Chains A and B, each alone.
Chain A
Amino acid sequence: MDNVLAFGAASSQAGRVDALFVVIAVVGGFFFFLTQGILIYFAVKYRRRLPDRDNVTPTITGSPLLEFLWILIPSLVVVAIFYYGWRVYTDQRTSVAGATEVHVNARQWMYEIKYPDGRTAINEIRVPAGKPVKFLLSAADVLHGFYLPDFRVKMDMIPGRVTTLWVQPDRPGSYQIFCTVYCGTGHSNMLARLIVMPPAEYAEWVAHGEEEGGEGKEHEPLTVRGERVAKNAGCLNCHAIGGAVKVGPGWKGLFGSNVPLEGGKTVNADEEYLRESIVDPGAKVVKGFPNVMPTYKTTLSKEDIDALVAYLKTLK
């Protein structure tokens, strides 16, 4: 679901915002073409034709009637637009009873999700279609933002406070979540998704209690599982697999290489090093990088970490 311009695609509420947008665009466009059209018309029609002479220009200094009108009419127009915008907004902010409450806590640079039944996730929120969802938003360190462009809504995430945002996702799909309050180096990498599932599929997913990497897949090679963990746990928001540098060091060719650390030492990136970097990232900080990586000690199971290490070894 990537066509953000699709009119009211994700929810009927989004459709109402789009309608308001179109109305403002039409009204604004009308006044723009009216005024600028007249401007261009006057500029052309009244251009000086005889050089070096002023021609005859009337001493018009004002018109009380015109000036009154063009104070009155814009005033009425803006009040109307205000009212319309306010009504749509008020609906947006009025949460519906029976909404599922999903906690989202942002930290540099990921979203930690917690469902009512205690399940947790990173950077991925799954909800059933047709049911209202209320997001309870907070932040652990600095301001972050929670923006669902397809739903036309956003809310800031503030340390020490809980802000709320509710949506009613009508159509199944995978919707983008962006961070919209500048939060540091990884701000543009804090990508997440809201996955709206058909009710039946959603029930399946809940029943099988899928975790971070997911155990549900029998006979899944460790490296494939590891790749999935890397995506789902938010690693790829900060680490690139192709050699570029994002927030943290790239993973290409990492395993087995000699890594220079802050403080002068060098260490060999063996399995132990990789494991330690995941559960205690601050123990050895790579030279030239900030010590900002959070620990995954409690978020990833031992199996997931094994899988991740296996995956990292494949990145030559």
Chain B
Amino acid sequence: MAETSGVGRGYLAVRGWRSWAFTLDHKRIGAMYLWTTIFFFLVGGVFALLLRLELLSPQTRYFSNHAYNVFFTLHGSMMIFLFIIPAIPSGLGNFFIPLHIGARDVAFPRLNLASYWVFAAGFLVIIGSLVAPMDTGWTFYTPYSAKSAAAVTTLSLGLFLIGLSSILTGLNFIVTIHKLRAPGMTWHRMPLFLWSMYATSIIQVIATPVVGVTFLLLAAERLLGVGFYDPAKGGDPVLFQHFFWFYSHPVVYVMILPAMGIISEVIPVFSRKPIFGYKAIAYSSLAIAFLGFLVWGHHMFTSGMSPLANAIFSFLTFFVAVPTAVKVFNWIATLYKGSITFESPMLYALTFIFLFAVGGLTGPFLGALATNVQLHDTYFVVAHFHYTMMGGTVMGFFAGLHYWFPKMTGKMLNEKVARIAWALVFIGFNVTFFTMFIVGTRGMPRRYAEYLPRFHTENVISTIGSAVLAIGILVMCWNFLQGLRKGAPAPADPWRALSLEWRAASPPETENFHEIPVVTEWPYGYGTTKA
């Protein structure tokens, strides 16, 4: 039974900075994360544009080599640690997990608030480290990072705090999903977004402590002369890589799984059909989480690991493709005989499938040992991860923002402007990044401030694409701001969707539901006839 639509301001009613700074409301905490992560997305994007500007010419022209190197480090680090890891889980996840399970809040609301402030402390420390910015790349490999004159120790502390924040959030979500489901909501009646958030949270909780220790030991090497990574002391620089990737590979699944969860929500709604293969999609999230822990070595095939170790990692790497492919097939099958409309959430969801397929199918080039040796550390890798992380996660994030905008704000977005922005983003994205597959195959290494003239053409094309992409994103942001200011009032359920968040008002009241709903069926009952 849908509740009254957004006549009042719901959870947004109480004003004043204190009502935000000390809020225990998961929706406000989620909103704070969203504002923060989107801010860092834009800042990280500016650094990307600076990179693309410099790459217009083979020799450095506007910036010194060192400045360029700092820019790609900041671009990568900000995008990964301050945007893509927290945005969907801590932003949209915080907002919608309790609504999806029919609860009033997460299991530990105060811990939730603490998570945000730890995150804030983390990014403030990271910003502080910019007095002596890093140029190591976001991977901070030793010995270079251990010897660097940059503020490595400060940055390590900042990253430690960010990591701690994500552990606490993951822990909160795991307990919430286990213990706070509404009566009647069995595991198999949960929306798939919850399954993906559950798998994501497990990864965060298990993987993040390892990267915490990784950076702790890096800081210790600089401060105390500890020698785990130092060859002069009998340590091993490659040990850093093992520790680092033990976290950083699973973390790409932290990035993609929540986005996949959003796609699983959007596709059925806009095709008016039940999701195809619910259990396969649900369990594939767990399978991806599990397999994701076994493959970190595929980032290190050229680091001198033994051929046997390489073979094992390569073999296991290929298997992560299978549960991923299952999801893609199931989403496409959901469209079969559907009744499809193309509002902006659906446009972004379909775009996700398309672009993520490109990213995913360029994975085998990198998972196969011989071609990996050719393509590792070239622009091919840069293209691959931008197709999966931006073509994938970011498109999924945009889909979620457009889908849930009415619920979070009580206002509708301008569909026409949304579609214009989408078109610019789609075109700009492909022009920017597809050329990188080509130039990487032709041998252009990554993290190069200067490059050989034979790579010039692709780089110019890519930069033009980045300008179009940037405009598209700006139009999208402008659309969001306009929507916030003067969007049409949103009904409780503008998309006629069945998951529980649409039973709450738009925007929801602080306690979400007047009465905790009792769940009697799964949330994908869109079909009108028997098969």
Q: Which residues of A contact B (CB under 8 A)?
A: 2, 4-5, 16-17, 20-21, 24-25, 27-29, 31-32, 35-36, 38-39, 42-43, 46-48, 54-63, 66-67, 70-71, 74-75, 78-79, 81-82, 84-86, 88-90, 92-93, 141-143, 145, 147, 149-150, 152-156, 158-161, 163, 176, 178-189, 191, 244-247
Contacts and interface: CB of A to CB of B under 8 A. Distances in A.
A43 B267 CA distance: 11
A130 to B, nearest CB: 22
A176 B365 CA distance: 22
Given A28-B364, A35-B329, A85-B371, A46 B337 contact: yes
B111 interface: no
Contacts of B443: 4, 147, 149-150, 176, 178
B279 to A, nearest CB: 8
Contacts, number: 284
A143 B141 contact: yes
Contacts of B271: 46, 57
A60 B368 contact: no
B341 A24 contact: no
Contacts of B361: 28-29, 31-32
A20 B372 CA distance: 11
B238 interface: yes
A31 B137 CA distance: 34
Contacts of A183: 144
Nearest to A50: B339
Contacts of B373: 17, 89, 92, 152-154
Given A42-B332, A46-B336, A156-B302, A185 B531 contact: no
B368 A20 contact: yes
Contacts of A189: 65, 450
Contact of B339 (A48, A59, A89): A48
Interface in B95-145: 135-137, 141-144
Contact of A20 (B142, B273, B336, B371): B371
Contacts of B339: 46, 48, 54-57
Interface in B178-215: none
B335 A46 contact: yes
B280 interface: yes
Nearest to B143: A142
Contact of A86 (B60, B142, B314, B325): B314
Contacts of B336: 42, 46, 60
B448 interface: yes
B435 interface: no
17 contacts: A4-B442, A17-B374, A38-B332, A42-B338, A47-B341, A56-B528, A59-B527, A60-B273, A60-B274, A61-B277, A61-B531, A89-B310, A143-B143, A145-B445, A147-B443, A154-B373, A156-B303
Nearest to B273: A57
Contact of A185 (B65, B142, B278, B377): B65
Interface in B311-351: 311, 314-315, 318-319, 321-322, 325-326, 328-330, 332-333, 335-342, 350
B331 to A, nearest CB: 8
Nearest to A42: B335
Contacts of B441: 5, 21
Interface in B454-472: 454
Interface string B261-275: 000000000011111
A66 B336 CA distance: 13
A160 B238 CA distance: 11
B65 A82 contact: no
Interface stretch (B6-14, B352-360, B388-396): B352-360
Given A58-B529, A86-B369, A188-B449, A182 B364 contact: no
Given A46-B335, A61-B275, A156-B304, 9 more contacts: A21-B365, A32-B361, A56-B529, A61-B277, A67-B326, A67-B330, A149-B443, A160-B237, A188-B449
A5 B364 contact: no
A75 B320 CA distance: 10
Contacts of A42: 332, 335-336, 338, 340
Interface residues of B, number: 96
B228 interface: no
Contact of A36 (B304, B354, B530): B354
Given A89-B370, A154-B302, A182-B447, A143 B144 contact: yes
B276 A60 contact: yes
A57 B238 CA distance: 55
Given A54-B272, A176-B452, A181 B141 contact: yes
Q: Which of A24, A32, A153 is packed against the most chain B CB atoms within 10 Å?
A: A24
Contacts of A47: 340-342
A39 B376 contact: no
B378 interface: yes
A39 B354 contact: yes
B4 to A, nearest CB: 23
A143 B237 contact: yes
Nearest to A47: B340
A83 to B, nearest CB: 9
B19 interface: no
B377 to A, nearest CB: 4
A85 B325 CA distance: 20
B376 A154 contact: yes
Given A4-B442, A57-B526, A75-B319, A244 B341 contact: no
Contacts of A142: 143-144, 147
Nearest to A84: B368
A39 B358 CA distance: 14
Nearest to A44: B340
Nearest to A245: B64
B16 interface: no
B332 A82 contact: no
A36 B356 CA distance: 11
A85 B365 CA distance: 9
A51 B370 CA distance: 53
Given A81-B368, A155-B304, A187 B357 contact: no
Contacts of B315: 79, 82, 86
B314 A85 contact: yes
Contacts of B310: 89
B15 interface: no
B527 A154 contact: no
Contacts of A179: 445
Contact of B340 (A28, A43, A178, A186): A43
Q: Which 4 A-B pairs have the closest CB atoms?
A: A160-B231, A85-B368, A59-B527, A149-B443
Given A39-B354, A70-B329, A155 B302 contact: yes
B451 interface: yes
Contacts of B525: 59
B274 A61 contact: yes
A2 B66 CA distance: 28
Nearest to B60: A244
B482 interface: no
Q: Which of B59, B329, B341, B373 is packed against the most chain A CB atoms within 10 Å?
A: B373
Contacts of A57: 271-273, 337-339, 526-529
Contact of A59 (B64, B325, B445, B530): B530
